[in-house]
């Protein structure tokens, strides 16, 4: 766990240095990503899918708002400890780190415009970002399962 925290801090420092050395980035939210319908019990989610490195690196940056039933599903090529930060993200989010079978591994509330890293508790390929508090309001927690899209039909 200590090694993971050190890795997250190193990542945060490297990201901050990269941003400081990079010319102004486009300040437009990405739109037009593919979408997938997910469900968490009786709750429906309309998620944009960020599946390429470029799409994942932009994520939900520059969004001023997002409908409550929408989110973004980040899809990685292989399971790994995934860490997220919110430097240019204007709205607070909750990240659900999700196993291949749709099981929520852990949740992390992430404040807007923060360099703090939020990491998965174990290697995962999927991360679903929703408006902060969405999972709590729906009573969803680690161990609950999502269905639809890459997680298969509801059981």
| Residue 128 included in any domain | yes
Number of independent structural domains in the chain: 1
In a domain, 56, yes or no: yes
Kindly provide the residue ranges of all beta strands, DSSP E only, lying in 13-144, ordered along the sequence. 35-40, 43-50, 70-80, 83-84, 93-98, 104-110, 118-119, 124-131
Q: Where are the alpha helices (DSSP H) in the chain?
A: 2-21, 53-58, 134-137
CA distance 155 to 84: 30
Q: How many CB atoms lie within 10 A of CB 50?
A: 23
- The pLDDT assigned to 20 comes to 42
**Taking phi first (over 0 means left), then psi (-120 to 50 degrees means alpha), and beta for anything else, what does residue 57 get?**
alpha
Looking at residue 107, its pLDDT comes to 98
Q: Which of 141, 127, 38 is nearest to 86 (CA)?
A: 127
Please check whether residue 155 lies inside any domain of the structure: no
The residue segments making up the domain with residue 39 are 2-150
User: For position 28, what pLDDT does the model report?
Assistant: 85
* Kind of pairing between the strands at 70-80 and 43-50: parallel
Q: Specify whether the CB–CB gap between 112 and 90 falls below 8 A.
A: yes
Contact 49, 73 (CB under 8 A): yes
Phi, psi of 149 (to 5 degrees): 50, -130
For 13-46, the pLDDT digits (tens) are 445 444 443 434 558 888 889 999 999 999 999 9
Residue 96 located in a structural domain: yes
CATH of the domain at 64: 2.60.120.1140
pLDDT the model gives residue 19? 46
pLDDT tens digit at each of 155 positions of the chain: 555 554 445 544 445 444 443 434 558 888 889 999 999 999 999 999 999 999 999 999 999 999 999 999 999 999 999 999 999 999 999 999 999 999 999 999 999 999 999 999 999 999 999 999 999 999 999 999 999 999 998 75
């Amino acid at each position: 766990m200590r090694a993971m925290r050190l890795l997250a801090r190193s990542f945060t420092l490297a990201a901050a240095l990269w941003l400081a050395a990079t010319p102004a980035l486009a300040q437009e939210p990405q739109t037009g990503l593919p979408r997938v319908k997910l469900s968490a019990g009786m709750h429906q989610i309309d998620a944009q899918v960020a599946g390429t490195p470029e799409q994942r690196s932009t994520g939900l940056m520059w969004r001023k708002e997002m409908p409550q039933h929408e989110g973004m599903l980040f899809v990685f090529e292989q399971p790994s400890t995934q860490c997220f930060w919110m430097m240019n993200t204007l709205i607070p989010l909750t990240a659900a780190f999700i196993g291949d079978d749709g099981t929520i591994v852990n949740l992390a509330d992430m404040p807007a415009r923060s360099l703090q890293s939020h990491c998965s508790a174990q290697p995962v390929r999927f991360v679903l970002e929703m408006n902060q508090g969405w999972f709590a309001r729906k009573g969803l927690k680690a161990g609950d399962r999502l269905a639809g899209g890459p997680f298969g039909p509801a059981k």
